[in-house]
Chain A
Amino acid sequence: MRALIVDPVKCTGCRACEYACSFAHDGVFNPANSRVKVSIFLEDLTFIPSVCLQCDEPYCAEVCPTAALEKDAETGLVKYYKDKCIGCKQCVVACPWGSIKIHLGDKKVIKCDYCDGDPACVKVCPPKAIAYEELEDVVLNKQKAVAALYKDIVREMAKGVSP
């Protein structure tokens, strides 16, 4: 299963993801209506991107009285059906991540939809602070990266050791 993986350590705070996201959904550039959000903490020299995590037990869907939000087990997406939405905004309140927003134009709910499997944000992020990846690969890469930190030491220690 593929998912949007956010790695704040790599983020440069350029917000191209916000521009790409708003353009992909509205055809205009407006970070205020982006599904992705980069928080910039200038004094702490830190930039933190965030986007809907497509929870397995999504509070947004649980509180929705019209089933306008629904977890799709196959794709992993929490899907939003605009036509079912009555605009009660309970999902906005319920989401612990602040990833469900209200569009400033039509005042309807907006949330990340992975751009139908080809997320626009990913295409403009050369440092890969936001990436669309197979979860297994993400786990494997993390394991390898951690192991690589001490592989040289292990090689030294293994000298002369016969198992």
Chain B
Amino acid sequence: MLGGYQGKILRVNLSTRETRVEPINEAWARAFIGGRGYATRIIYAEVDPKVDPLSEGNKVIIATGPLGGTVAPSSGRTMVVTKGALTGAIACSNAGGHFGPALKHAGFDMIILEGRSETPVYLWIKDGKVEIRDARHLWGKTVDEADKILRSETHSEAETMVIGPAGEKLSLLANVMFNAHRAAGRSGVGAVVGSKNLKGIVVKGSMPVKVAQPERFMEAVYKAREKLAKDPVGGAGLPTYGTAVLINIINEYGGLPTCNALDAYFPEAGKIAGETIRERNLIRNEGCASCPIACGRVTEIKEGKYKGEHGGGPEYESDWALGAMCGVSDLDAVIMANYLCDRYGIDTISAGSTVACAMELYEKGYIPKGESPIPLEFGCGDALVEAIRMMGEQNTPLGKLLAKGSYRLAEHYGHPELSMSVKKQEFPAYDPRAFKGIGLNYATSNRGACHVRGYTIAAEALGRFGGADRLKYEGKAALDKTLQDVTAALDSTGICLFTTFGLDVEDLAAMYSSATGFECDVNEFMKIGERIWNLEKLFNLKAGFTRKDDTLPERLLKEPIKSGASKGEVVAELDKMLDEYYQLRGWDKDSVPTKAKLEELGLADLL
């Protein structure tokens, strides 16, 4: 058996209720690692890229990587790979928690979900055994309720994956929640799970995970853990203040999109910053499996009308989306909105940006006053919380529109240009006008606008990888390509992107090589990442995406930032960056990979 892998994939057909165990394909494991890469290879082989994401023909893969279920730092990731409901593009949403490792201890590297059950069901997987159980009594339950009931019906120490009411109602913003607090947030993956009438999966296992070269592996793990402990971000900033430590930092750069990106500087940022959350709301840090960083926040609202409410987060992106992006500095409202998103099972980034879009549409008079029960005004915490409720419940026409995301909402009211999205997916908490590299990354990200495909902010704002001038266009294509490739490979191993604050590619390659026994140096690791990126791109090309989809909202290209340290900035040279990027990728001007590139990557047979 291959080290690091359990060697088994569980295939569940929800239409026929058949389950089958299939072996891991070693050639695919070597070429695509696991997790994001391997699962994308399966989707590419089995799902028609043009299929309606919410139809029976789409499949969902719940995937782990070979480092999951070990003591490798931050190795608790679980990936949900499918054709995204929000975007129609390839989707890989990645969550922390303990589910992925538990799935491996239960005997499986991945679960392929196909077909559609006639009535709601959940899966109970324990040590290699699988049961498809009735979930009618769970339909309509919030994520936290379902999590609790599922554990009481199976095992008190089981790990859960569930969708909330949003996923059941096929909201295009629906996420998949793990351990009630951890979200595979983006691209509407929760709606795809909901379309299959699957409420969730519960796992518990006691099987070992073995690595190929134990001594070398532990040496690499201890070295990595030591480097992370010494790193100012991974060892101090994130554990102390959580990811929301970035609110003040990014705002000082004038790169914090504010009021639906009408500006990129939020004068009241301090009120929602990580430092303030720590002071007012933090109960404790929560660590995902084997994570020395433990950036996760467990918080409580201690006063006001939401007093006593508690839950996970807010993380930086959620804090920004529900806060600055909506102009809301009422931290209690932001945190409450975050809890509601988690309970309904809605992606916080898209939710916040969609509310912000609704606020602009409302203030400009495009949403008639009578259509909202509350004035949707920028800065109003009550409006934020009410809008999230409407989005979660979908019991009003406006609520149903909000649940489709900002693009379809703005399009409905005749102003799609007010949606701050790429490929219909809302962009996250860094304004491309202030950080040009992240703009190129939003434009080219295979799953729609996203920060964690190529986190150029590490270089453009935090000085990592030798730093990069955030306002320059030169060199950003190369930076993006490199980071996109590293991330694709690293995601596939099952460890967290945050490890790269302290670790170098050689550290990742060392852990991966010693765990699997597949000898892999830095170049080969990068090559695997590039292969995965190109595979995702091939899926999107077949789904109908072209160069014209690799763009940014018009606002970012034309409307200068009004205040703060990046005042006057726009993204002026996107096309030039794109040309350079496609060239570096070995793609033609229309973003189609050349035959030579695909041959080099061993993907030529996929055309």
Q: Which residues of A contact B (CB under 8 A)?
A: 9, 12-16, 19-20, 22-23, 26-33, 40, 42-43, 45, 47, 104, 123-124, 126-127
Closest CB of chain A to B495's CB: distance in Å?
13
Within 8 A of A (CB), among B285-319: 285-292, 294, 296, 298, 300, 310
A104 and B290 contact, CB distance less than 8 A: no
Residue among B235, B285, B290, B296 making CB contact with A19, cutoff 8 Å: B290
Residue among A13, A23, A40, A124 making CB contact with B225, cutoff 8 Å: A124
- In this assembly, does B459 line the interface, its C-beta being within 8 Å of a C-beta of chain A? no
B71 and A124 contact, CB distance less than 8 A: yes
Residues in B with CB closer than 8 Å to A104 are 206
Task: A32 to B209: give the CA distance in the assembly, Å.
Answer: 11
Residues in B with CB closer than 8 Å to A26 are 208
- In this assembly, does B597 line the interface, its C-beta being within 8 Å of a C-beta of chain A? no
With A23-B218, A32-B105, A124-B71 already in contact, the answer to whether A12 and B206 are too (CB < 8 A) is no
Closest CB of chain B to A22's CB: distance in Å?
7
- In this assembly, does B2 line the interface, its C-beta being within 8 Å of a C-beta of chain A? no
B290 and A16 contact, CB distance less than 8 A: yes
Task: A19 to B101: give the CA distance in the assembly, Å.
Answer: 11
With A30-B105, A42-B147 already in contact, the answer to whether A15 and B98 are too (CB < 8 A) is yes
Residues in B with CB closer than 8 Å to A29 are 69-71, 208-211
Closest CB of chain A to B557's CB: distance in Å?
42
Q: Which residues of B contact A (CB under 8 A)?
A: 69-71, 76, 98, 105, 147-148, 157, 179-181, 205-211, 214, 218, 222, 225, 229, 235, 239, 283-292, 294, 296, 298, 300, 310
A13 and B286 contact, CB distance less than 8 A: yes
Some 11 contacts from A to B, beta carbons below 8 A apart, are A12-B291, A14-B76, A16-B292, A19-B69, A23-B214, A27-B214, A29-B208, A30-B206, A43-B148, A123-B222, A126-B225
Closest CB of chain B to A106's CB: distance in Å?
13
Residues in A with CB closer than 8 Å to B283 are 45
Supplied contacts A12-B286, A15-B290, A29-B71, 13 more A-B pairs, CB within 8 Å: A16-B290, A26-B208, A27-B214, A28-B208, A29-B69, A29-B209, A30-B206, A32-B206, A33-B208, A124-B225, A126-B225, A126-B229, A126-B292
Task: Give the 5 A-B CB pairs with smallest separation, nearest first.
Answer: A14-B287, A12-B287, A32-B206, A28-B208, A12-B294
Residue of B nearest to A15 (CB): B289
Residue of A nearest to B210 (CB): A28
Most buried by A among B206, B235, B284, B296: B284
Residue of B nearest to A31 (CB): B105
Residues in A with CB closer than 8 Å to B296 are 12
Task: A154 to B105: give the CA distance in the assembly, Å.
Answer: 54
A16 and B105 contact, CB distance less than 8 A: no
Residues in B with CB closer than 8 Å to A33 are 206, 208
Residues in A with CB closer than 8 Å to B98 are 15
Residue of A nearest to B214 (CB): A27
Closest CB of chain A to B154's CB: distance in Å?
15
Residues in A with CB closer than 8 Å to B229 are 126
Task: A126 to B157: give the CA distance in the assembly, Å.
Answer: 24
Task: A32 to B105: give the CA distance in the assembly, Å.
Answer: 9
A127 and B71 contact, CB distance less than 8 A: no
B290 and A14 contact, CB distance less than 8 A: yes
B71 and A16 contact, CB distance less than 8 A: yes
Residue of B nearest to A32 (CB): B206
Residue of A nearest to B148 (CB): A43
Most buried by A among B147, B218, B239, B290: B290
A42 and B214 contact, CB distance less than 8 A: no
Closest CB of chain A to B365's CB: distance in Å?
44
Residues in B with CB closer than 8 Å to A123 are 222
A12 and B290 contact, CB distance less than 8 A: no
A20 and B209 contact, CB distance less than 8 A: no
Residues in A with CB closer than 8 Å to B235 are 126
Closest CB of chain A to B353's CB: distance in Å?
28
Residues in A with CB closer than 8 Å to B300 are 45
Task: A30 to B211: give the CA distance in the assembly, Å.
Answer: 12
A30 and B208 contact, CB distance less than 8 A: yes
Residues in A with CB closer than 8 Å to B179 are 42
B218 and A12 contact, CB distance less than 8 A: no
Closest CB of chain B to A6's CB: distance in Å?
16
Residue of B nearest to A21 (CB): B71
Residue of B nearest to A42 (CB): B180
Residues in A with CB closer than 8 Å to B205 are 32
Residue of B nearest to A30 (CB): B208
Task: A31 to B102: give the CA distance in the assembly, Å.
Answer: 10
B105 and A20 contact, CB distance less than 8 A: no
Residues in A with CB closer than 8 Å to B214 are 23, 27
Residue of B nearest to A28 (CB): B208
Residues in B with CB closer than 8 Å to A12 are 284-287, 291, 294, 296
Residue of A nearest to B291 (CB): A14
Task: A26 to B239: give the CA distance in the assembly, Å.
Answer: 31
Closest CB of chain A to B201's CB: distance in Å?
17
Residue of B nearest to A20 (CB): B71
Residue of A nearest to B290 (CB): A16
A30 and B207 contact, CB distance less than 8 A: yes
Closest CB of chain B to A16's CB: distance in Å?
4
Task: A23 to B515: give the CA distance in the assembly, Å.
Answer: 13
A14 and B294 contact, CB distance less than 8 A: yes
Task: A16 to B294: give the CA distance in the assembly, Å.
Answer: 11
Residue of B nearest to A22 (CB): B208
Residues in B with CB closer than 8 Å to A19 are 69-71, 290
Task: A22 to B70: give the CA distance in the assembly, Å.
Answer: 10
A124 and B206 contact, CB distance less than 8 A: no
Residues in A with CB closer than 8 Å to B225 are 124, 126
Closest CB of chain B to A131's CB: distance in Å?
15
Residues in B with CB closer than 8 Å to A47 are 284, 286
Closest CB of chain B to A42's CB: distance in Å?
6
Closest CB of chain A to B575's CB: distance in Å?
45
Residues in B with CB closer than 8 Å to A42 are 147, 179-181
Task: A64 to B482: give the CA distance in the assembly, Å.
Answer: 61
Residue of A nearest to B300 (CB): A45
Task: A41 to B278: give the CA distance in the assembly, Å.
Answer: 21
Residues in B with CB closer than 8 Å to A27 are 214
Residues in B with CB closer than 8 Å to A30 are 105, 206-209
Residue among B147, B291, B298 making CB contact with A16, cutoff 8 Å: B291
